[in-house]
Amino acid sequence: MAARRGTLLLLLAGCRLEGLAAVADTRDDDGETSPFPTTSSTVTSDPEGGGPGRPDASSAADEDGFTSDDTAEGPPLGETGPRPECRAPMGHTVCDDGPEIFYSLGLDCPSDGNDHTPISGDRFATSDQETWATARMYGNEAFTPREGQRLLVMTTGTLPVADEDGRIDVPFGHTRRPADQADNRNPDDQDLPAPIVVQSGSLSAPFVDCDGIGDCSETLPTAFQRAHDLIYFTFEVTVPDGTFGYEVDLAWFSAEFPRLVQQPNNDLFVWWQSSDAFTGNVATFEGAPMSATGLQPYLTAPGTGAATGNVALLQDTGFEGSTSSQCTFAWGTYSDCPNGATTGWMTLSAPVQPGETVQIVAALFDQGDRTLDTTVLIDNWRWSCGGCEPGSSCGLRPP
């Protein structure tokens, strides 16, 4: 029976969807319903082998299943001298063969061991079931899960229903529709969800002297008024001993590039963290936010893995193609102006302190234009031993 996305709100293993409906189901092609899977796989995900937060051939696990990782870069934040033993969980139980949102990220999978990441206070907020999905593929084979069998897709527009293989194939032009067709049913004219605070949270310069309340990255728009087509999720997680960071994989697509790069109030994706180690937006590239304007240097630099226009990487994503007319911007001229762009996969790195409880909010929303869509893929949460330094090694980078 080919599972398709549920059409109503979900209450799934502690994940609560807030919106217009209150019953969860999965419908097959005949309209019949079946319950979402609730059992977990016993497979442990460790997709990249060695590296920060993962064992390699030289690592050895102790009797509790933890591994001492001598490959983590640098001492813990704010300290010098020998690095303490890494006790970050290496990999996790995979349980995402179904539409449960946090399972698809590698979070909260049922397990009796140390190979899982329990979360609390989890909530997925949307009023439109067509603005998100857990998928086995988005567009083409470049955008398949980074771990497990599913990734999370969120958009400021709408998504087609996944096919029987779990693939989302977005028709050409679907992400650039007329104004009277472009809006979805997610709420407009909204404040950003707590604990996001748009005001500056640094006392001297971005990423320096954080006050623990405002945005220490100073990447949220000072002219921000209200969020439109807002979709977000939030959760709290307690950091394991000997763990100084975490990572998650993201891919960004937007029809706002290039035509709205020089306009204010782009669509924005925020990964907010409130913690002792850092409070503010972590989804930054070289000190700029994850928007068409903030990512422009990455999207136009050679060799980054980003793509625009008529390229295979954008095929079937809805952001491919061009207008067949010339357009000129501050950074250059396109003989065929692109319809959109993607960063390809990027890795987000963030700092934490062992034993603290961190609150995360991932929010995607429009600020002005609602006819050109932005989509974000999210997958593969994992802990890292060495962490990163805010303002330098934290934020977004090629994987």
pLDDT tens-digit profile of 117-130?
Answer: 999 999 999 999 99
> Does an H or E element contain 360, and which?
strand 357-366
Q: Which two tokens stand for residue 34?
A: 């079946």
- Pair of tokens at residue 257: 């590039």
Taken as a whole, the chain contains a residue count of: 399
pLDDT at 151 over 70: yes
Report the 10 Å Cβ neighbour count for 85: 14
Check residue 88 and give its pLDDT: 78
- The model's pLDDT over 85-136, given as tens digits with 9 standing for 90+, comes to 777 777 778 899 888 999 999 999 988 776 789 999 999 999 999 999 999 9
Task: Tell whether the model's pLDDT for residue 259 goes beyond 60.
Answer: yes
Name the more confident of 11 and 347: 347
CA contacts within 13 A on the Cβ side of 165: 9
pLDDT of residue 203: 85
Rounded mean pLDDT, 283-287: 96
pLDDT tens-digit series, residues 54-77? 223 333 333 333 333 333 444 444
At residue 11, the pLDDT reads 33
What does the radius of gyration of the chain's CA atoms come to, in whole angstroms? 20
Question: And the tokens for 126?
Answer: 């949307």
**Mean predicted confidence (pLDDT) in 4-8:** 38
Q: What's the mean pLDDT in 173-191?
A: 86
Average pLDDT over residues 354-368: 95
65-74: long-range contacts at Cβ-Cβ below 8 A with a sequence spacing of 24 or more?
A: 65/89, 65/113, 65/114, 65/115, 66/90, 66/114, 66/242, 69/385, 72/244, 72/384, 72/385, 72/386, 73/386, 73/393, 74/386, 74/389
Q: Is the confidence at residue 14, as pLDDT, over 60?
A: no
- Whether residue 306 has pLDDT greater than 90: yes
pLDDT of amino acid 178: 77
Give mean pLDDT, residues 259-276: 93
Does residue 195 have a cis peptide bond before it, meaning omega lies within 30 degrees of 0? yes
How many whole angstroms separate alpha carbon 36 and alpha carbon 19?
A: 19
Confidence of residue 84 (pLDDT cuts 50, 70, 90): low
Both structure tokens of 42: 């016993």
15-18 and 11-12 as β-strands: parallel, antiparallel, unpaired? antiparallel
Tell me: pLDDT of 32 over 80. Answer: no
pLDDT of residue 104: 96
Instruction: Tell me the backbone φ, ψ of residue 295, rounded to 5 degrees.
Output: -90, 0
State pLDDT tens for residues 183-217: 899 999 999 999 999 999 998 899 999 999 999 99
Q: What is the pLDDT of residue 83?
A: 55
Yes or no: say if 15 and 101 are a contact pair by the CB < 8 Å rule. Answer: yes
Range among 27-36, 51-60, 73-82 with highest mean pLDDT value: 73-82
Share of residues in the chain with pLDDT > 70 (%): 78
**Is the peptide bond preceding residue 52 cis, with omega within 30 degrees of 0?**
no
Mean pLDDT of the chain: 82
- Predicted TM-score (pTM) of the model is 0.81
CB atoms within 10 A of CB 180: 7
